[in-house]
Structure 1
Amino acid sequence: MTFVSYDVALLAPVSLEHLEDGSEVCRKQGRVAFGSRAWEVFRKLDALRNGLPVEVFIYASHDPHVHKLAVSWKGLYVGHVESDNGAHPMGMRFRPPSTGKYHEDNHGYWAVFWEVESLRRLQEDQCIPTGRFWGLEKPKSYGRNFVPEGPILIRYPMG
């Protein structure tokens, strides 16, 4: 059984092609790494999570089949690593192969790589509208037309 912190959670957009390829990497390697330039979000998250994994709720961007704003993927955030001149320090071992199509995706663009275990696509009836989420330090939910444009610390959704 994995213990998870319920003090904080993460809401993040990831391109659908990277999620689909990343789920296979996660299955084979035990985790997958996604790039970000929002290093301060991940440093704060690591300070708040007390060494425990936290739930990550993922909005699949660039999905031509989805016409509603909803989280359709989920996983456990287990930490982040600093980039090595923009690349993951372990090369492509934990990266979705689809990122290889984009030169900058593995060569100089990202500040950090956030790592996820147990990545999975949610069933249709498990998807959560993005507007239902509350920012960690926000007085109310984001609202129904909310599109996450980067990783955001959120309150763990209850119920």
Structure 2
Amino acid sequence: MEMKDFAILAPVPLEHLQSGADIAHKAGFVAFGSRKWELFRKVDELRGGVRVPVLIYPSHEDVPAKLSFVVSWLGWYVGCEESGNGKHSKEMMHRPPTTGQYTSDNQGHWAVFWHVCDLHELPAGRRLPISAIQTVKGGWRKTAPPRGPEMVATPSTLELPL
């Protein structure tokens, strides 16, 4: 399978990344929530069944994203599930255990759950500031750091194991 020329840049709270990495390993993928169902429909249309790199930077509650934030986690997007009731169809099987402490996180808040496999933290030398990530047409605008997942160009400097 060939890799697509785009990736997903996404903020995820650090606690969910840490607890989600174990779930991704044990259950095959971890499911993160988003309200951006249109974005994931577009990604699924463009990816043609090929997995897409996910560049993740730890988000901070109530702190606007800054261009100095750093991509320090990497995974592969393998699909999504739209939610009519805000819950994942497999309940907590694929959700980071840390989401259980936030009532809205698993009951009605999210429009879509995006699935990530092979989630892992990047070694310090392979991390990338989000300011170094290029835009793609119809994706992230550098003038507005992401408040949720966005399509970006796959960074050429990032070594991606296939």
Per the normalisation by structure 1, the TM-score is 0.88
Q: How far off is 1:137 after superposition? A: 1.0
Residues 78 and 129 of structure 1: is their aligned pair in 2 closer, same or farther, counting only changes over 3 Å? same
Q: Could you tell me how far apart the structure 1 residues matched to 2:117 and 2:70 are?
A: 21
**Separation in 2, partners of 1:28, 1:153:** 27
Q: Which runs of 4+ in 1 moved over 3 A?
A: none
Equivalence for 1:114 = 114
Q: How many residues align?
A: 150
Q: Distance in 2 between matches of 1:38 and 1:31?
A: 19
CA-CA distance at 1:5 after TM superposition: 2.3
Q: Deviations over 1:14-55 (max 9, x none)?
A: 000000000010111111000000001100000111110000
1:8 and 1:113 map into 2 onto residues whose CA distance is 20
Q: Deviations over 1:40-85 (max 9, x none)?
A: 110000011111000000011139xxxx511000000001001140
Match of 1:136 in 2: 136
The percent of aligned pairs where both chains have the same amino acid is 46
Residues 111-143 of structure 1, C-alpha deviation per residue, up to 9 Å, x if partnerless?
Answer: 0000000000001111001001122117x9837
2-structure distance, mates of 1:9, 1:105: 25
CA distance in 2, matches of 1:82, 1:57: 21
**Residue 5 of structure 1: which of 3, 7, 16 is its match?**
3
Q: How does 1:1-159 map to 2 (within 5 A)?
A: 3=1, 5-62=3-60, 68-137=68-137, 142=142, 147-159=145-157
- Paired AA for residue 117 in structure 1: C
Give distance in 1, aligned partners of 2:30 and 2:136: 25
Q: Is the 8 A contact 1:12 1:152 kept in 2?
A: yes
Unmatched segments (≥5 aa) in structure 1: none
Distance 1:141 1:26, change over 3 A: same
The CA deviation at 1:6 is 2.5
CA distance in 1, matches of 2:108, 2:28: 25
**SS of alignment partner, residue 43 of structure 1:** helix
Two-structure CA RMSD over aligned residues (Å): 1.9
